[in-house]
Amino acid sequence: MDHPGEGRLLEFARLTAASPAPSAEVQLAFLSKLQRLFAEGDFTATYKFALLIALSDLAVEWGTDNAGELPLSIQQIADRFVQLYWRHALPYGTGGPDTQAGVLVQNLGVQAAVLTSIAAFRASSGASTSTQARAMPSYKALVTRVAGVVSAQPLTYLQNFGGVTDPFLYERTGPGMIQLKSNVAYCLRRFHPLVQQLARTHWVDHIKTNRRNHGILGDAGDLEDFLFGISRQSLAIMSTGLRKLDGAYCFYCGQGMHNADVDHFIPFALYPRDLAHNFVLAHPQCNRSKSDSLAGKTHLERWLQRMDKQSAQLVEIGASAGVAVDGRTVHRVAAWGYANAEAAGGRAWIRPTSYEPIGLDHLALLGTA
């Protein structure tokens, strides 16, 4: 799906590329405001958490590491809302005693309008995954409906906290457009894992503390996986497709394997969004050893070559699994991740107990050195 505003966004990023990065004091001030937003904000629904996740993701995917502003279309944000809430429109059940499966309530009043819109679309279109939905002509109408909700609710009220309005994140710049303010895109990129963790934790707590969900949840311990993780069925389809594409060999050590883990090449802890081009198969031992580390130069070079030469096959596998497919976005995410790690003096995983400094050689492979 094409997003209104992407051309303007790319041009804006080019024009602001030379803008210097914000100072440490500016970054600390941003974190202080973010902390206040969570502590003092009024969260009657989960929309504000979704908006923070969407803005931080889009900052990573479209922003640059400078103090420049970043324009975004509300359609872009609404599309990300549909992806975030897609699974939430399905019944959740634990199978525990005294519980009954049902769609989780995500509003203190009536059910969240985004969820009801997605549920109606699923029923009328027959789409079982958001990837299938995005290929349908009627998907644009769904995004437009969701965009109306996003504009009227979280975009209007997110920056209200402590009894006042403090527009420190964004401002509206015209019909269907907002603009992240100076320094904000940089800070959302720099502190992306923290923003994601805070928003997801508060989102889960919001659902758990809603008394109308008690009959569904019981003592559920896997709620976060249901809300934000990839389904087991999708993971199994990805695993089968990757095994046909790459063979029964570990992507990292190259050895044959019987059992394989589906690994996020750019760690899920760093960027918690499932994208087909980011998946590789790995020995469970290699996967556990790599853990949340970025991969070494040799692995990075091979991964980029694979993404370039086998992109069409990865798109097909991702579509079958219902996983988002976007090679350009994965490349931008990788460039962001390695650039942040290089600036922080990070080290990349080569093999168990073996690491290398992340430097300009890694960035050069990604075209950012």
Taking only the tens place, the pLDDT of each residue in 318-364 is 999 999 999 999 999 999 999 999 988 999 999 999 999 999 999 99
pLDDT reported for residue 111: 81
Residue 27 in this model has a pLDDT that exceeds 90:
yes
pLDDT reported for residue 4: 45
The answer to whether residues 154 and 50 touch, using CB atoms and an 8 Å cutoff, is yes
Q: Residues 213-218: what's their mean pLDDT?
A: 88
Q: Residues 13-30: what's their mean pLDDT?
A: 77
Which of helix, strand or coil describes residue 275?
Answer: strand
pLDDT band per the 50, 70, 90 thresholds, residue 89: very high
Taking only the tens place, the pLDDT of each residue in 45-74 is 999 999 999 999 999 999 999 999 999 999
Residue 105 in this model has a pLDDT that exceeds 50:
yes
Evaluated on CA atoms 74, 80, 83, 86, the torsion sign reads negative
pLDDT band per the 50, 70, 90 thresholds, residue 18: low
Residue 222 in this model has a pLDDT that exceeds 80:
no
Q: Which residue in 37, 34, 48 sits closest to 84, CA to CA?
A: 48
The answer to whether residues 159 and 169 touch, using CB atoms and an 8 Å cutoff, is yes
Q: Residues 40-47: what's their mean pLDDT?
A: 93
- How do the domains of the chain map onto residue ranges? 6-228, 232-365
Taking only the tens place, the pLDDT of each residue in 272-318 is 999 999 999 999 999 999 999 999 999 999 999 999 999 999 999 99
Q: Residues 138-142: what's their mean pLDDT?
A: 98
